[in-house]
Amino acid sequence: MAGATSALFILDIKGRCLISRNYRGDVTSAQAEQFFTKLLEKEGDVESQGPVGYDNGVTYMFIQHNNVYLMTASRQNCNAASLILFLHHVVDVFRCYFEELEEESIRDNFVVVYELLDEMMDFGYPQCTDANILSEFIKTDAYRMEVTQRPPMALTNAVSWRSEGIYYSSNEVFLDVVESVNILVNSNGQIIRSDVIGAIKMRTYLSGMPECKLGLNDRVLLEAQGGTTKGKAIDLDDIKFHQCVRLARFDSDRTISFIPPDGSFDLMTYRISTQVKPLIWVEAQVVRHARSRVEIMVKARSQFKERSSANHVEIELPVPCDASNPNVRTSMGRAKYAPEKDALLWKIRSFPGNKEFMLAAELRLPSVTSEEAVSDRKAPIRVKFEIPYFTVSGIQVRFLKIIEKSGYQTLPWVRYLTVAGEYELRLI
């Protein structure tokens, strides 16, 4: 971060300061209130102004949560994105302590708020924003604060995301590879947008300070090791890691090495930008009979291997907003009319690979309608599903090594899951 924050303010919905923490003494709460009043007078809607403002040599960055605003002020050249992200972390910490962040919870917990602001930022520079670590020595009960406590080692340690002395009788690691498929198909059946957003989620129950190494079938890594990449390796784009990953090690030899936090966390996210074949393809035909009724014929086909099966499949089929009295028949699953969505919801509990199912529906239309109301809205067909033990990208966990000085044995569990993200077909 290029510059330091001068102060942090929490204001009510009218821009009045509820609580402030001045870290450098060069911006007052009166200046912050004056700036916010100017914003309210300009448009009336503060969010329409954007999260960054400038007034009299001071840069202000703010976010809104419920009926309060969190705002930082600085006279230096700060990284605005970092400070806005810091404010969102402050909101997460307050919600862990007070369940919900609003004006009343701030007024009822002035002491705890001040203590948290002192620990989360020091002389204008963000420090620890992990609620699990802060909760070890900042308590919401005032009587528990009477005994002087030493800050946990995690706060002063190089590994700030993990405390020392953690012990489990059974050491286990659960690793989930979850991929979300986004597809948009136009009325001609052409795919105009497709990508895969993936995440490697972990739940660790490990004793001590374990060192973990994760190996994937990354093309760059396999080529560097001299291995064969035909049909096995994948190209990962837009990789983002948890702060525990050693980035220097990854840049040098593509090894994902880290000391994991305790509990659940997202180790990394990635994107696959190659063309994706639709896993469930839907074809629909709509036949209108004058102004009395409409018939819809739908064919759903799974386009993945037979050994896999999609669970909790839901196909949302748009229908005219004035339709009624549906008569629906399906070859598999159940379908019901959802008037609040102007759609038929076709649910299939288990959809095996390389299978095809049919739906036929007939809906009544009003006999009297205006000429302008003939054209209906063109809503897309939306599909939801989950395919366990399957990934679109072909990503594989080649190994997961866990090393700890005590030498205990670890049980790693790996699971793959593909789900539908923004999966839309504009075919009707």
- Does residue 195 contact residue 272 with C-beta atoms inside 8 Å? yes
So what's the pLDDT on residue 179? Answer: 95
Higher pLDDT, 232 or 163: 163
pLDDT tens digits for 344-392? 999 999 999 999 999 999 988 876 555 555 455 578 999 999 999 999 9
So what's the pLDDT on residue 235? Answer: 81
Count each helix (H run) and each strand (E run) in the chain, helices first.
Answer: 8, 23
Q: Which two tokens stand for residue 13?
A: 């919905």
Residue 368 Cα distances to 290, 319, 325, angstroms:
11, 18, 16
Q: Which two tokens stand for residue 75?
A: 């006279």
Q: State the pTM of this model.
A: 0.69
Tell whether the model's pLDDT for residue 146 goes beyond 50. no
Phi/psi at 114 (5° precision): -60, -40
Look over the chain and give the mean of its residue pLDDT values, rounded to a whole number: 84
- Does residue 369 contact residue 291 with C-beta atoms inside 8 Å? yes
So what's the pLDDT on residue 148? Answer: 43
Mean pLDDT of the region 270-296: 86
The DSSP result for 155-218, as a single string, is: HHSS-TTS-S----SS-EEEEEEEEEEEEEE-TTS-EEEEEEEEEEEEEEE--S--EEEEEE-B
So what's the pLDDT on residue 203? Answer: 95
Higher pLDDT, 236 or 417: 417
Tell whether the model's pLDDT for residue 124 goes beyond 60. yes
So what's the pLDDT on residue 45? Answer: 57
Mean pLDDT of the region 138-146: 49
pLDDT band at 29 (very low <50, low <70, confident <90, very high): confident
Higher pLDDT, 76 or 154: 76
Q: Of 9-18, 47-56, 174-183, give the range with the top mean pLDDT.
A: 174-183
Percent of the chain with pLDDT over 90: 37
The lowest-confidence range among 28-37, 179-188, 329-338 is 28-37
The lowest-confidence range among 18-22, 42-46, 188-192 is 42-46
User: Cα(350)–Cα(348) distance, rounded to whole angstroms?
Assistant: 6
User: Cα(225)–Cα(323) distance, rounded to whole angstroms?
Assistant: 62
Rounded to 5°, the CA angle 206-207-212 comes to 55
So what's the pLDDT on residue 57? Answer: 86
